[in-house]
Amino acid sequence: MKSWQRLSGIVALLVVLLGLCIWYGSLAPAPAVGAYPGGSDIATGSNQYVGSFVSVTGTVESTDPVQIIIETKAGLLRLTIHGVSENATVGDKLHVFGELRGGHAIEAENTVRVRSSGLWYTYAISLLGGLVVLARLIRDWTVDTDNWTLRPRNSECTLCSLYDWLSGFR
Amino acid sequence: MFTLRLVERVPMTDLFAHVCLAYVVGGLISLRVDWLDARYVTVVLVGAVIPELVKIELLVEARVISNLLIVPFSWEPLQTLGGVVVSLCIGGLVVCRCEQRRVLPLLALGAATHIFLDYLLLSVSGRSFAVFWPFTRYHPPTPGLYLSTDILPTIVASLLAMMVWILTSHVD
């Protein structure tokens, strides 16, 4: 496979990936399959989802009553949450599943609180995981500058050489 | 545009736990498959990182892309079956031809371990993500074993990885 063919293939696949992202973004909520309306749906759907079950995640802004701020496609949205089972404190991340009431309020059926320190831990340990993989990739694989591909270190691409040799006869 | 925000939009197990589990699976298989040495275990680890690309949302919000392209947009397909398969194919094109038959299944194996761990995550609605999209949009019920911020899965995965490392070093 020549470099331009490989590059064309990668670009084509990236276009497919972009298409999937646009397609998914255009999907409306479908509670029947578990795709519940989220913050952006509530913000842009006026009162369309009042009486429906919604699933949102936001930052706790106040605790009496519990109010959370959600970043949505239409900007920031403030929601009042009733029936919170957790001892939420300001700054925590709160996951809420419940019925949307009028006046931007949710009657919570289930809530999960995540401390902000927990999120920093997740980011830090994830970064470590990414660095481990990157280090191993650099240690074990190398760029073959003849055809701009990756190949294992200390290996000879005899098959690739054969393919290239044969393709020369086409 | 490029701001790291303290937001958990897409619940996922931390990447270190994913990498450890992929190492466990890759390491154990390497005990039975002669050609699968450390270089190919690394490929399994890379596969486990692929669905994590969805976290690009933390750097570039979907709504920014949406405003740029003037179309709806979501990064979530990157962690669904369809997005992962396309990403795997890109990975397959990056390696030289003689390695594709080895690399593609190993990347897929790593990605599968990632999706499996994410499926176990606690979800407030009791439903996981659209794992098999675009084939079906069904969000399977999740067993809800842990939160993405829990440290226990990472400890367990790290210990297992350490055991496999000792085991494979001993065999070598």
pLDDT digits (tens, 9 = 90+) for A1-22: 678 889 999 999 999 999 999 9
Q: Quick one: CA torsion of A126, A128, A132, A137, rounded to 10 degrees?
A: 60
pLDDT at A159 over 70: no
Average pLDDT over chain A, rounded to an integer: 87
Residue B103 or residue B59, greater confidence: B103
Q: Do A133 and B45 touch (CB under 8 A)?
A: yes
Residue of A2, A140, A159, A163 to mutate, interface with B, max B Cβ within 10 Å: A140
Instruction: Note the pTM of the prediction, 2 decimals.
Output: 0.87
Q: What pLDDT, on the 0 to 100 scale, is given for residue B8? A: 41
Task: Phi first, then psi: give them for residue A37, nearest 5 degrees.
Answer: -60, 145
> Does position A37 have pLDDT exceeding 80, yes or no?
yes
Give me the percent of chain A exceeding a pLDDT of 90: 54
- Residues pairing with A62 in the sheet: A67
Nearest to B6 among A27, A116, A132 (CB): A116
Tell me what pLDDT residue B26 has: 97
Mutate to test the interface with A, among B36, B40, B42 (most CBs of A within 10 A): B42
CB atoms within 10 A of CB A5: 10
Instruction: Kindly give the interhelix angle for B15-30 and A116-140, rounded to the nearest 10 degrees.
Output: 40
Across the interface, whether the CB atoms of B83 and A30 are under 8 A apart is answered no
pLDDT at B7 over 50: no
Residue of A106, A136, A143, A157 to mutate when probing chain B, most B C-beta within 10 A:
A136
pLDDT score of A75 more than 90: no
How far is B71 from chain A, CA to nearest CA, in Å?
7
- pLDDT (average), residues A138-162: 80
Separation of CA A113 from chain center? 19
Q: Which residue of A has its CA nearest to B10?
A: A57
pLDDT of amino acid A3: 81
pLDDT at position B3 is 35
Question: Residue B121: exposed, middle, or buried by beta-carbon count in 10 A (0-12, 13-18, 19+)?
Answer: buried
Closest-CA residue of A relative to B89 is A13
CB contact under 8 A, B99 and A13: no
Distance CA B126, CA B142 (A): 6
What is the SS3 assignment for A81? strand
B-chain CB neighbours of A34 within 8 Å are 125, 127-128, 130, 138-141
What the block records as the tokens of B25 is 């699976």
CB contact under 8 A, B93 and A6: yes
Question: Between B14, B98, B154, which is nearest A160 by CB?
Answer: B98
pLDDT digits (tens, 9 = 90+) for B71-84: 999 999 999 999 99
Average pLDDT of the residues in A82-102? 88
Q: What per-residue confidence (pLDDT) applies to A167?
A: 59
Q: How far is A80 from chain B (nearest CA, A)?
A: 17
Grade residue A161 by pLDDT with cuts at 50, 70 and 90.
Answer: low
Would you state the pLDDT for residue A168? 57
Inter-chain residue contact A13 with B89, CB threshold 8 Å: yes
